[in-house]
Structure 1
């Protein structure tokens, strides 16, 4: 019987849950487990800070157009604009 939950669009059924439980009870090879980093990668040597900013839909649209045109993210375009302004 399936639980109604899905993983990557595939239903999770009781037999799959039992298989996962048996695997966990048998133990895992710590060296074979995927190593994961902690959070987003840093942008420099020092710590960074998230800053909330309110923009109009027109301002966001203009940033998104420029980002798409330059192949950059919205954040990259904003950071570059701030660096230019502060210079």
Structure 2
């Protein structure tokens, strides 16, 4: 079955210790230039994992993904009205 997961952005002081984040979830991406990592963990465990990650000495801050809060269902397609567009206005 599909386990619901959520992303956590972790800003780092140093990328040297990124491998320690593997015990909290799946490390999806690490940017050495901008010093951040994207970590995925189970959605049920997020509230417990974030304080543990923030307690690490090499972590500056963490931010939970806002994707689950965003509405992805939209009402039908929106078609533009042709009378509002004047393509031949300058001719």
**Is the structural similarity TM-score above 0.5?**
no
By relative contact order (CA 8 Å, sep 6+), the higher-ranking structure is: 2
- With structure 2 as the length reference, what TM-score do the two structures score? 0.21
Q: In proportion to residue count, which structure has more helix?
A: 1
Q: In proportion to residue count, which structure has more strand?
A: 2
